[in-house]
Structure 1
């Protein structure tokens, strides 16, 4: 056979095809037949479907993943580790292009598996796309100003993006979101991790015990909590962004006596002010305890000239218990 090139290359060809079928094709067919979307899974809306194409075309897959691994460091990105059913709705873009890279190969930026729950506000996403440094000062993400248009004045129906002058690119006028920007945001808003059905247990996040042991006995840093979870919207100076995110500096809620409202906003978010974007349920997403909520409140009440009354863990614990009893949530 080694002296007959026809036999040699024919044998090699069929060996390659056979191995491809066994190693790649049959497992793919098995996965398709045995993994179905989770109950409640919905197909992407038309705007989100177009936004997925914008996401791919602009190279977002190069820096962002959509896979929550079963290790404790991935806990901020989802309520549970990812499973095959989470990706059962992903289909080929067309006959020539696959979308497997949506899962990502490198996590330079945050994972986006649950970004639709973690950050639901359209205003935040639009400002972030126009210039990421507007909301995250140290961000290395590239800006996407070509997804927006600058006009002398907004027309009826235009979605205005409130970008501070310091984060403009020298232009004057009104920044308006273009169709592709709105489609991309629609796609990001629909990226939500679904709960498992019934009493199906989720895989645990591994190595969490080691992380907790390292932090045992230490005090909670309210400033660090604010920087990690709140600063992207409310800003380091507590002044927020006009027309997008409310200020905490001088806030009647921060300095007021309605602790129940304050804690409820931290745990379950807020979406009752049309002039500002919706706030996500930060405390619930991050599983804040009374210790962490207390540290965060006391930091905000003592910063930027605020003079709110400090709270204790016991006070916050009582409020959390009442809110959980009232809403039936955790």
Structure 2
């Protein structure tokens, strides 16, 4: 499932290429025909992400809410700008099984560098993948729930968990149920909401970080890495975590989220040499402390990393450094 940085990156594609333009909406699959009719021909006036959910505003009055869930993805085509980290990937960016290559300095002059518009295809989900140039607009491929089309760019949505048209008050109610997102609720207020919610609950911190009503945007990768970076036992009840440590978790989540949006990858290791940093950008195995490293030695103490199931999701941690 896409984590917060991926959804913010998708929202930025809409901000760059759709906001301020008239959008034609359709549902090639047919399952969203009614909703598409409501927004067809309207101007997109805003695009924003909160945690794992994205909201597209039309004509300053109605919104399209999208939650990609486990299988959803957006395919963009037309004149768009893919940043260099996206263009370097041999797999969709940001997912745990990504394999990619790092662009050389010479790549800045290529047609895949930052700021180079071209007619192409870009898939954005938990990973991102740049495809070959295609005629515009491309024919819909597969079960496209909704197509959004301007005179220069198209966006096709497949397989979302949620895709619905909402009124402003419904959007406000949906966002109110979510925990704080550092890119939306920055500053002391967002931090305090996070602290209050964690410190009021007997639930293990390893589960609280995945609870979108406690904090928005954290998924399985960031959960495991944040806990290790804090040397925090995932089984410790939230109410027993010292306040200063909860605040440190929020600050670290803010840092990692911003970095993920910038890079398009979940980079969670610090202090790497240039060579190791480039290797980490290219291979997930060199990018994380504990995630997906069951049975491998802890990078700090050498103890084998443990994996256990927690609320149906895999939880990775070091039994020595995190107890």
User: TM-score with structure 2 length normalisation?
Assistant: 0.29
- The structure with the larger Rg is 1
Higher-helix-fraction structure? 1
Q: What TM-score, normalized by structure 1, do the two folds share?
A: 0.29
* Larger strand share, 1 or 2: 2
